[in-house]
Amino acid sequence: MTVTAMLPGGQGGARATLRRNFWRGVGRVLRRKPSRIAGVAIIALFALMAVFGPMLYPAHLPRDDNALYAAPSLAHPFGTDFEGTDVLALVVTGARYVILTGLATAIITVAVGTALGLLAGFHRGRWDTVLMRITDLQLTIPGLPLLLVLSTVWKFEGPLEMGLVLGLLGWGGIARAVRSQTLSLRERGFIEAARGLGLPTRHIIVRELLPGMAPYIAMNMLIAVTGAIYAQVGLFFLGVLPFDSNNWGVMLNLAVFGGGALTSAAALPYLLAPLLAILLLTLGIVLVVDAMDEIFNPRLREE
Amino acid sequence: MKRLTAIAALAVVATATACGTTGNTSSSGAGGIYTTIDGSKQIDASAPINPFNPQGSTFMGYDAMSLGWPKNDLMNPDLFYPGLAGSWSVTPGQGEVVIHLRPQARWSDGKPVTSEDVRTSIGLAYTQGGSAYTVNSGAAGAAADITVVDAKTVKITQGSNRSNAFLRNVLSTVVVPAHVYGSLLPAGFWTTLKTAQGTGPAADKAKAVITGLAQKVIGFSPPADVSAGPFVLERINPGAALLKKNPYFYDAAKIVPDKVKVLNYTGNEQIWNYLVSGKLDNAPFTAVPAAVMARIKATKGNEIRKGYSPVAASLAFNQAHKPYDNVHVRRALAYLIDRGQLTRVASPEAGTPAVTTTGIHASAAKAWLGDGLAKLNPYKVDPAKATKELKAAGMVKRNGLWAMPDGKPWKVRLTVPAEFSDWVAAAKSIASQLNDHGIDATVTTSADYTLYLDELASGKLDIGFWLMALGPSPYNIYQRLYGSANGWSLLAGRLRHSPPGKDGNWMGGPEVVGGVNPGELTNRLNLATPEEQKRIVGTLAGLTNQQLPVIQLYDYVNTQFVNTTRYTGWPPAGSEALRLPAGVWMQLGMIEKK
């Protein structure tokens, strides 16, 4: 931040130059490995599915009463489900719930974890003790059993509710990691200087400490999305969450327990389609995290 | 998910090891080892060898015996195959049942089965409550006195509040050896029981003493199995139970297999895999998807035996919730549901679409109603009639969707327990069909069946799936529709009706419809003669068809699996013995070595 202030020319122009350089750097990093481009493409595809997917199909997906568990064909690339609905349509329209839940979880996980980690690490002392004991307590709560119990009293009607619960159950790890980073950064010279200049704590935390950890937090956020997807799909698969025929977890559940996908091949495409979607989305996230690592870590950019 | 997979894989390895151990170390003679599963429970190797324990390591028909075995008759619930009781007699009105035990019946330790064993078993059954052995004063069909006539004859007398279910409840008594279980009944038990059967503070105290023994009885763990059945438990582990032939069984010559191996399972998928691999000599009813059924049929020796199963699935309404209090709305929904299509989606192998809504399984309905069945409204899919009914109910159509009479949105919420995959599929199929006709319908699930029943009973749900037509007793059939779930309950021998939302009345139907009190009629089925029963069933079927407290969706088919590679002589399709455990088939001399 201090470097920016010392740059010649207007502050806005300098920022624009930095932004241009940053995106050029991003482009270079992505081009270096085609897999990273693929990762971005996959995430873009799922984002498009989440935003526009449900608009591509009627509110109630059409069924073919005479094609229950139909084999893959041009008309139905992943076959049909137990009532003759196109499985691809189910995956596409179901992406919104899964991705929204993933994002909500990630945002809550990162927001709560980062805030508590920064406060605990920067203030140390009693703040640190209290916040870290709360974090320890959160880390000891067994997530899955708690969710199973919660599902008996709470119907989790929407993705945001689901995301809220998963997020509140998942911030402990990030809080601990951010605290460690903060403890290290707060001893650096630029923080000492900021303190010496009498800058307020809020400024130091938000404008000095946080930008240094932003890459780390962003990567954690993406990883939290994958965790949230696994968790919610798992819960739907176990059948403890409300039924929604295009939810990927519900599809897995019905393919295995209703269609016998693990015993006969008829319902296998119905099982594989949501699995493939989860796999692709996770792969996309992993590839983008790989690119982000290089973008934000100058030592990896030396070649 | 990864963790789940790993746990599942470990479980499979553990199961395979466990089963392998059993198989490898077991020696079998010419009769071989008969392999099956217990359809009523999974194996819990740590459970006591005690038939009073719901998880107990005993297996009905093999090492757990009752006085008789019910035949799968369409109309007569009192038809039984002899079990430990070689014969019995009953007075008109079922006031007295006299049981004659088989003279040759002996326990696996060589001691004879006597009347004292039956008396002790009945005493123990009183601690558990229910059916003929309840200490609730005034309960219909409760036994009042048990008299040991001689070593092989017992007389059981019904209390003053009669029920025609008495004989079948007595014959269903599970008999355990008095020399093993007798110590569970404290001295003076029978005097306490007499006191408990009365009224007043002394009776209440005595009742508490009797029911207070329940946990002690359930938890009792005999050191070894003492069986009067054709087999006796040799050993059990988490993967399987192994039973060996009981040389003292009264009809030992009829029993062909030397041993019986009861495999454990954690879900239907495991049973499917057992069947596909041809491992099981027989398996009782298991819900099977069509594609899996095709694979099972393709396995060498596998055959399917289908028979009558007095159970049907229905869509039940909470009539205390609007608009389901209006019969026109219920009829409209009946006209919009294609039962054939939903059966194809939900239960193609183990269900047949309901002919119409009568409250009775179609097979039994033909026997009970005769030509009357054809006169009932079949509720064939007819959107025009549905529209007419909805209009008659005052419902309005807004922007292509049906709405409540005041214009508020009408959201049909169908609730099912998540663990019943056929119900989930059926509910989804119904929701899709209703959506096609402009009704905004969605499916919600409850995490498990117990929670689902709680939610139903608390009146939270608008529409839920409901098991019905639980025959063959006509009282049991209509009790599902006009019993406690709909407000009618028997208290101290008197029938009373609770308002919707009270005492478990979640169906919320009217007490009297067109001058008929269906709960009262249902209760009369308990005492009525066969002729009267037929008349009452006709009335109730007609009323149910008109009023639709439920929409009957599909009738279950008892689909059994047998394998002819190692054994033959299986009961044929439609046999009266088909719903009984294979141990009883052996007792009846059916199973032969190939």
Query: Which pair of structure tokens corresponds to residue B537?
Result: 């069933």
Question: Rounded to whole angstroms, what are the CA distances from A241 to A94, A249, B478?
Answer: 15, 9, 33
- B344 contact residues in A (CB cutoff 8 A): 65, 68
pLDDT for B38 beyond 80: yes
**Does residue B507 have a pLDDT over 80?**
yes
pLDDT of A221: 85
Task: Confirm or reject contact between A216 and chain B (CB < 8 A).
Answer: no
pLDDT of residue A214: 82
pLDDT of residue A295: 78
- Choose among B374, B113, B127: nearest CA to B226: B113
Out of A240, A258, A263, closest to residue B425 by CB: A258
For residue A299, what pLDDT band results from cuts at 50, 70 and 90?
low
Report if residue A236 sits inside a domain. Answer: yes
| DSSP letter, residue B200 | S
| pLDDT at residue A12, rounded to an integer | 62
Q: Give me the pLDDT at residue B491, please.
A: 75
Average pLDDT over residues B72-93: 94
pLDDT at B21 over 80: no
Nearest by CB to residue B345, choosing from A83, A148, A230, is A83
Q: How many angstroms separate the CA atoms of B46 and B57, rounded?
A: 8
Q: How many Cβ atoms from other residues are within 10 Å of residue A250's Cβ? A: 26
pLDDT at A187: 84
Helix (H, G, I), strand (E, B) or coil at B155: strand
Q: Supply the pLDDT for residue A235.
A: 85
Tell me what the mean pLDDT of segment B452-476 comes to: 93
Q: How far apart are CA B84 and CA B65, in angstroms?
A: 7
Question: Is A207 or B298 the better-scoring residue by pLDDT?
Answer: B298
Average pLDDT on A192-218 reads 85
Query: B156 to each of A140, B146, B473, how far by Cα in Å?
Result: 59, 5, 21
Contacts of A253 in chain B (CB under 8 A): 418, 421
pLDDT digits (tens, 9 = 90+) for A60-86: 999 998 899 999 999 999 999 999 999
DSSP state of B427: H
Boundaries of domain holding A226: 41-56+88-297
When mean pLDDT is compared across A150-164, B107-121, B521-535, the lowest value belongs to: A150-164
Is A126 a member of any domain?
A: yes
In a domain, A213, yes or no: yes
Average pLDDT over chain B reads 91
CB atoms closer than 10 angstroms to residue B221: 12
Identify whether the C-beta of residue B58 lies closer than 8 Å to the C-beta of residue B64: yes
ipTM: 0.81
Q: Does residue A9 surpass a pLDDT of 70? A: no
Strand partners, B488: B497
Task: Tell me what pLDDT residue B17 has.
Answer: 35
Q: Which chain A residues have a beta carbon less than 8 Å from that of B341?
A: 65
Q: Is residue A26 part of a domain?
A: no
What top-level class would CATH report for the domain B65-219?
A: alpha beta
Confidence of residue B55 (pLDDT cuts 50, 70, 90): very high
Which pTM does this prediction carry?
0.85
Domain of residue A171, CATH code: 1.10.3720.10
Domain count, chain A: 1
Q: Rounded CA gap, B181 and B171, in Å?
A: 20
Contact (CB, 8 A) for B499 and B505: yes
Strands B550-563, B494-497: pairing is: unpaired
CATH number, domain B309-556: 3.10.105.10
Greatest CA separation for chain A: 77
Answer whether B425 sits within 8 Å of A239, measured CB to CB. no
pLDDT (mean) for B378-406: 96
Q: Is the pLDDT of residue B353 over 90?
A: yes
**What SS3 class is residue B444?**
strand
Tokens coding A38 = 């693929």
* pLDDT of A2: 39
Q: What are phi and psi of A34, to 5 degrees?
A: -60, -25
Q: Per-residue pLDDT tens for B211-268?
A: 999 999 999 999 999 999 999 999 999 999 999 999 999 999 999 999 999 999 988 8
Q: What pLDDT, on a 0 to 100 scale, did the predictor assign at position B420?
A: 87
* Nearest alpha carbon to residue B147 among B174, B127, B118, B175: B118
In chain B the first and final C-alpha atoms are separated, in Å, by: 45
**Which residues, numbered 218 to 237 in chain B, qualify as contacts with chain A under a Cβ-Cβ cut-off of 8 Å?**
none
In a domain, A35, yes or no: no
A183 belongs to a structural domain: yes
The span from the CA of A293 to the CA of B2, in Å, is 26
**Interchain CB distance below 8 Å, B272 and A263:** yes
Q: Are A90 and B435 in contact (CB under 8 A)?
A: no
pLDDT band at residue B6 using 50, 70 and 90 as cut-offs: very low
- pLDDT band per the 50, 70, 90 thresholds, residue B27: low
Phi-psi region of B487 (alpha: psi -120 to 50; beta: other; left: phi over 0): left
Indicate the pLDDT class of residue B58, thresholds 50, 70 and 90. very high
pLDDT digits (tens, 9 = 90+) for B555-590: 999 999 999 999 999 999 999 999 999 999 999 999
For residue B201, is the peptide bond before it cis, meaning its omega torsion is within 30 degrees of 0? no
What pLDDT was estimated at residue B9? Answer: 36
A58 and chain B: CB distance < 8 Å anywhere? no
Q: How many CB atoms within 10 Å of residue B439? A: 22
Query: In DSSP terms, which residues pair with B212 in a beta bridge?
Result: none
Amino acid at B346: A
B29-51+229-301+564-593: CATH number: 3.40.190.10
Whether the CB of B154 is below 8 Å from some CB of chain A: the reply is no
The backbone torsions φ and ψ at residue A203, rounded to the nearest 5 degrees and listed phi first, read -65, -45
Lowest pLDDT segment from A13-17, A46-50, A259-263, B529-533: A13-17
User: Residue A1 and residue B270: Cα distance in Å, rounded?
Assistant: 63
What is the interface size between A and B, counted as CB pairs within 8 Å? 89
- Looking up tokens 């009970």 gives B368
Q: Is the Cβ of B428 closer than 8 Å to some Cβ of chain A? A: yes
pLDDT, tens digit, 9 for 90 and up, residues A96-129: 999 999 999 999 999 999 999 989 988 888 989 9
Decide if B499 contacts B557 (C-beta within 8 A).
Answer: no
| Closest CA of chain B from A234, distance in Å | 6
Residue A15 included in any domain: no
CA atoms within 13 A on the CB side of B66: 22
Q: How many CB atoms lie within 10 A of CB B391?
A: 14
Nearest CA in chain B to A69: B291
